[in-house]
Chains A and B, each alone.
Chain A
Amino acid sequence: MRFAVLQFPASNCDQDAVHAVRVLGHEADYVWHKETSLGAADAVIVPGGFSYGDYLRTGAIARFSPVMGALREFAARGGLVLGICNGFQILCEAGLLPGALVRNRSLQFRCEHVFLKTATHDSPFTRRIPPGKVLRIPIAHGEGCYFADEATLATLRANSQILWQYCSANGELTDAANPNGSLLNIAGICNAGRNVAGLMPHPERACEPILGSDDGRFIFESMLQTLTDRARAKAA
Chain B
Amino acid sequence: MKAKIIITPKKAVVDPQGKTVQSALAHLGYQGVTAVHVGKYLEIDLAPGTNAAAARRALEEACHKFLSNPIIEDYRLDIE
A residues at B contact (CB < 8 Å) = 56-57, 60, 64, 93, 99-100, 102-107, 145, 147-149, 181
B30 at interface, CB cutoff 8 A: no
* Chain A positions within 8 Å of B16 at CB level: 103-107, 181
* Chain A positions within 8 Å of B12 at CB level: 149
Question: Judging by beta carbons under 8 Å apart, are A100 and B71 in contact?
Answer: yes
Q: B2-31 interface mask toward A, CB cutoff 8 Å, 1 = contact, 0 = none? A: 000000010011101100100000000000
| Cα distance A201–B66 in the bound complex, in angstroms | 26
| Cα distance A12–B9 in the bound complex, in angstroms | 28
| Cα distance A149–B71 in the bound complex, in angstroms | 8
Question: Judging by beta carbons under 8 Å apart, are A93 and B17 in contact?
Answer: no
Question: Judging by beta carbons under 8 Å apart, are B14 and A181 in contact?
Answer: yes
B52 at interface, CB cutoff 8 A: no
* Chain A positions within 8 Å of B69 at CB level: 57, 60, 93, 100
B13 to chain A, nearest CB (A): 6
* Chain A positions within 8 Å of B20 at CB level: 107
A99, A107, A181: the one contacting B71 at CB < 8 Å is A99
**A147 touching B71 in the complex, CB below 8 Å, given contacts A102-B13, A103-B17, A107-B16:** yes
Q: Can you sample 22 A-B contacts with CB below 8 Å?
A: A56-B67, A57-B69, A60-B66, A60-B69, A64-B66, A100-B69, A100-B71, A100-B72, A102-B9, A102-B13, A102-B14, A105-B14, A105-B16, A106-B16, A107-B16, A145-B14, A147-B14, A147-B71, A147-B72, A148-B71, A149-B71, A181-B14
**A107 touching B72 in the complex, CB below 8 Å, given contacts A60-B66, A64-B66, A149-B12:** no
A57-B69, A105-B16 known, 8 other contacts, Cβ within 8 Å? A56-B67, A60-B69, A102-B9, A102-B13, A104-B16, A147-B71, A149-B12, A181-B14
| Cα distance A100–B14 in the bound complex, in angstroms | 12
Max chain A C-beta neighbours (<10 A), residue from B9, B20, B69: B69
Task: Name A152's closest neighbour in chain B (CB-CB).
Answer: B71
Task: Name B13's closest neighbour in chain A (CB-CB).
Answer: A147
Question: Judging by beta carbons under 8 Å apart, are B13 and A107 in contact?
Answer: no
* Chain B positions within 8 Å of A103 at CB level: 16-17
* Chain A positions within 8 Å of B71 at CB level: 99-100, 147-149
Task: Name B40's closest neighbour in chain A (CB-CB).
Answer: A56
| Cα distance A60–B16 in the bound complex, in angstroms | 21
Task: Name B67's closest neighbour in chain A (CB-CB).
Answer: A56
